[in-house]
Amino acid sequence: MDFFYPNFINDHWRIEGLIFFGDKDYFVDTEAKTFRLERIIPFLEQKGIGFYDTATAVRRLKDNASDKFLEVVEPTDIHALLGSIPQCRAIVTTGEKATATLCQSLGLPEMPSVGQYVPIPGLFADEQQMVLYRLPSSSRAYPLSLPKKAEAYRQMFEFSGVKYPLTPSVQFPY
């Protein structure tokens, strides 16, 4: 796949469009039923947002996208990855399998609840804190409305210091 969250029925890019542009369709090409990479890539570069998988090798045990039937064959070497991006201070997961995989790789004793984070001790010599933040899945199968998902993501961006222009037209359910 050319980029993360390419499935047109997944709401990830609608969530980010809503938060940053007040328009859930900002990254959507409705006619082609795809997302606008020409908008996504510069946006991510400007905001300093990166994506990576928690595993470099997986096996699908059934022919569907459910994490329940996903076997992690080789987890990502998260320590090496973070060593290449020392400015990173927050890791965000959107699924239970990804969160569990990272917690195991990082030796964390507990997984954060959805919408919460846990500190990751001892990753950096400069003692700056890194956190693992867990968000609701952007899949439409996850039982939470788009505005409520957007609010959870907005809180994470605010916590992480990612600037977003919250326009008066954007209403979040507090």
The 8-class DSSP code of residue 103 comes to H
Contact 104, 134 (CB under 8 A): no
Element (H, E) at 160: helix 146-160
The 8-class DSSP code of residue 143 comes to S
Distances (CA, A) of 23 to 14, 121, 167: 8, 37, 10
Cα separation, 37 vs 3, in Å, equals 8
174 residues of the chain, pLDDT tens digit each: 678 999 999 999 999 999 999 999 999 999 999 999 999 999 999 999 999 989 989 888 888 767 778 888 999 999 899 888 888 889 999 989 999 999 999 999 999 999 999 998 876 655 667 899 999 999 998 999 999 999 999 999 998 888 876 444 444 443
Domain ranges of the chain: 1-49, 52-160
Identify the residue whose tokens are 């809180």.
155
